[in-house]
Amino acid sequence: MRRSVEHLIALVLGAVLAALLGTLALDLAVLPVITKHGRSIEVPDVTDRPLEEARNILSEKGFRVRTEEERYDPYVPKGCVISQRPEPFSKAKLGRRIYLIVSKGRSLREVVDVCGVSVRQARLRLKQVGLRLGEMKEVPSSVPKGVVIGQAPKAGTKVPEGTRVDLIVSSGLGPKRMPDLVGMPLEEAEEVLEREGLSFRVVQVPDTTYLPGTVLRQEPEAGAKAEGEVKLWVSGLAP
């Protein structure tokens, strides 16, 4: 009889202990899920972040993530989030799916040929294809002043949208420079000056060292800027 009572007491105590443990398990595991169900929290801002980092941030907050679209973007680096839905800092229920639009980087554009046109026309052509005018360098050239004579990158090259294209622009021929006439026969020197469109005056100098009619001196000197009247000193017969 005594053993039966002890056995009964043990069964009752076991049942009570099991009930307590079950209640504790419910508090620790089940109830948090039930109480959180339907609760809304603030959606983190993951724009401009790399996709993997954005996924981790949202998952840690209890959201699910899906890439909704990938598109070209001139400002957001490739692989980073352009935008999200729901928007940052809005309220959303735990477990809700957050949709992300991810950047493919800048789209590629083909460089157009702008050689042979003015700088203004070159700027317009580049703008039409999503490119920008870069640095300009002027160099002397027989091409009329202000006309593009070179570009980098070259026409036909594929570059990211918004890339700057540098130009080489003609500054024209620049000032004329005096040819070296000293030692020439006067007749030949005259032909050179006439071909260059320069006026000149000849001064005869008595000299026995050089053949008569040889240019002994010139003004302006060779290499100087050719302007005004050119003066030539030419050997003549000694008196």
pLDDT tens digits for range 178-229: 999 999 999 999 999 998 888 999 999 998 889 999 999 999 999 898 888 9
CA-nearest of 170, 172, 173, 175 to 198 is: 175
Chain segment 98-139, per-residue pLDDT in tens: 999 999 998 999 999 999 999 999 999 999 999 999 999 999
Q: 60 and 94 share a domain?
A: yes
Task: Provide the residue range defining the domain that includes 215.
Answer: 186-236
The answer to whether residue 179 sits within a structural domain is: no
Percent of the chain at pLDDT > 70 equals 83
Clarify whether residues 9 and 55 are in a common domain: no
Q: How many domains in the chain?
A: 4
Give the mean pLDDT of 159-180: 89
Domain boundary among 170, 199, 221: 170
Residue burial 167-199, b: 16+ Cβ < 10 Å; e: rest? bbbbeeeeeeebbebeebbbeebbebbeeeebe
Q: Supply the pLDDT for residue 103.
A: 96
Same structural domain, 211 and 229: yes
25 inside domain:
yes
Residue 177 is assigned to a structural domain of this protein: no
Asked if residue 149 is part of any domain, the answer here is yes
Residue 130 domain flag: yes
**For position 89, what pLDDT does the model report?**
95
Query: Is the pLDDT at 29 greater than 60, yes or no?
Result: no
Q: How confident is the model at residue 92 (pLDDT cuts 50, 70, 90)?
A: very high
The CATH number of residue 159's host domain is 3.30.10.20
User: Is residue 180 situated within a structural domain?
Assistant: no
Residue 74 within a domain: yes
